[in-house]
Structure 1
């Protein structure tokens, strides 16, 4: 069976369906998933043959005439997530059936011809991408402040939770602890690569720690600046003189929109890379104590066979766990009829000590889900149940 099933419904043209399918295919390959095997996409009437055990979401293309009304009504009645979407210039109320109008719609932008945002929204619904959309902006205030403020506001308006040091640290908070905490919970770092960026030890640490945590970096290079080769592997946007309206920004409209779309695309690569890293560390520890990884299930759950032949399900989590994360894992395990309490596995490095203490308290109080640090996985699983 497929682990994930998606549907493209409504008035989508063959070209639109093909474009969205191609973008989804590129994103799921970041996770090592195969279209048609691990992920199945249903078009129009095919959705009636979906597997109810698989994680599912649909996108409904508004327009005239309204299509797939019966099957979409059935999906909504079954509480399956359906994302209504319209093209730029269409009116939501006129283009989407009434029973879908209570859902927040997605307008497809003209500057997103690959439908990256729609593909990401579908993958968020089935749990491949997390719903938190977090971006960290790394910059020198003396060189790129206006551009940083512009990106903060634009990314925020596009649904991202953006960290900017001048906006997001409360008075009296420990500055660096909060900064590292927010960094390790980010999907993408936007690095404004100006001539003096590496002259600051703080920005040097930011880029170094982002790479240590396998957070994808989008490097925006200032005009006439020769960047260091230390960041050559980063996704890059080169600015020319016409792309900057002032020495420190803002960035011209067309170019800044390109930056936002690249951030959207990098999310899946970043989350996949961090997920694979946690999974790899978990596998190594499990095998070291005589256990084995048996299978990967829906919602990226991992079946672990312990050395005493007991089976548990582990859920690697990217970023910082919360009580909401524990609840989500418990619900997914319950829906999959997993008998033992599921295990949430996370990387604690960079998380504030106050939050680590909170996580320990949650683990002591909430028994529906257990939580372990991936760096201590072998140690914890060797004594599992004691």
Structure 2
């Protein structure tokens, strides 16, 4: 691709902005993206390196003294329609710590857990991290219902779309079918590993399905209980009684985690997202590539994490790994790749996805969309058959 993603840092720069940039490139590495596809722009190289026609995300770091810098750059970015995230530091002091020209922007109150959220917002703006922010809470009702509801509310407050069985399945929907469907589309599973968690058949099944789908798990192990081994991406955390309000952890109806622990948990969920996305993309890319090579296809994995197939007359087909449940918006965004690739003619664009446990009604909808959209979808179970005949 002929462009670079532009991460722009302006305002009062220093230790915080440097930490955000370092974390940004750490996440870029986790996503297995080419670092050279990104450029960091600040006041020193803005006039030379900033390009209006290339994807941009700007972070304005506010000032507690009201000493606002780089307002000329802010003006340029606003005129260009660039997304600007104002970062401020004191609750209810947005207006005094952020310049008036940005007062209509949705700002972020910073604390020690927010660097990862800043980075993820940038990756979402670049469409490198799913803008959907879906979390699945797996738990045993009789042992941790109160904590599960607490997590549901905390994650919802932080703009996650949280699946909790008691709150998220509409009346009349087939319960287990909808549960697997929603798990398929989540970014992270928060697992509350209480003493009798694995005695439940359905809890065991949720772990097995998560493993099959390569979904990352953050596992919280109750005090005086053991950590369960996981075969896929997993962040384990052994809980202590001090992590619970008043040290009470064994009452499924009233136990609550401390607020500081909840803040840290939200940060862990943010951190897991990129790692999990890369793992699931890898799985799709590897399986599709193996079948393609089996059928003698000339394929290459591009730095932007999509697969190209060489065809005659300098044309190529493009295959884009789609994590979770493909939506029509995924198809529309993928059409943009046709415009971005200048070096050769694009014959066709395809989204490849894992159809395991996606509800039949949605699979039928995707098949129907294939009749009308330029971007086509290919199910994982059909990789071998599709590549054989196409």
Tell me the TM-score normalized by structure 1: 0.90
Aligned pairs, number: 379
Query: What residue number does 1:45 align with?
Result: 44
Equivalent residue, structure 1, for 2:205: 205
Distance of 1:168 and 1:301 partners within structure 2: 33
2:189 alignment partner, SS class = strand
CA contact (8 A) 2:316 2:346 kept: no
* Offset of residue 19 of structure 1: 0.4
Equivalent-residue separation in structure 2 for 1:290 and 1:52 (angstroms): 42
Alpha-carbon shift at residue 43 of structure 1 (Å): 2.6
Question: What is the CA-CA distance between 1:309 and the residue it aligns to?
Answer: 6.3
1:240, 1:379 → 2: CA distance? 51
CA RMSD of aligned residues (A): 2.4
Give the match for residue 68 of structure 2: 66
Work out the CA distance in 1 between the residues paired with 2:190 and 2:134.
11
Give the Cα separation in 1 of the matches to 2:289 and 2:240.
46
Matched, 1:82 2:87: no
- For residues 228 and 349 of structure 1, the distance between their equivalents in structure 2, rounded to whole angstroms, comes to 24
Contact 1:7 / 1:44 at 8 angstroms: preserved in 2? no
Q: Distance in 2 between matches of 1:232 and 1:360?
A: 30
> What are the within-5 Å matches in structure 2 for residues 80-119 of structure 1?
80-89=82-91, 91-108=93-110, 110-112=111-113, 115-119=115-119
Gaps of 5+ in 1: none
User: C-alpha separation between the residues in 1 aligned to 2:321 and 2:232?
Assistant: 29
Distance 2:340 2:184 in 1: 29
Q: 1:308 to 1:165 in 2, by over 3 A?
A: farther
Hey, what does 1:154 align to over in structure 2?
154
CA distance in 1: counterparts of 2:307 and 2:54, whole angstroms: 15
Report the more deviating stretch, 197-206 or 301-310. Answer: 301-310
User: Following the alignment from structure 1 to structure 2, what is the Cα–Cα distance between the partners of residues 103 and 383?
Assistant: 51
- The question of 1:120 aligning with 2:120 is answered yes
- How big is each residue's C-alpha offset from its partner over 1:298-347, in whole Å with a ceiling of 9 and x where there is no partner? 5x443322489640222211110112221222234335466444212211
Matched, 1:250 2:237: no
Equivalent of 1:267, from 270, 273, 284?
Answer: 273
Partners of 2:320 and 2:53 in 1: CA distance: 18
Please state how far the C-alpha of 1:198 moved relative to its aligned partner: 0.4
Q: TM-score, normalised by structure 2?
A: 0.89
Aligned to 2:317: 312
CA shift at 1:244, angstroms? Answer: 2.1
Assess, with a 3 A threshold, how the Cα gap between structure 1 residues 380 and 81 changes in structure 2: closer, same or farther.
farther
Mark the runs of 5 or more structure 2 residues left unpaired by the alignment. none
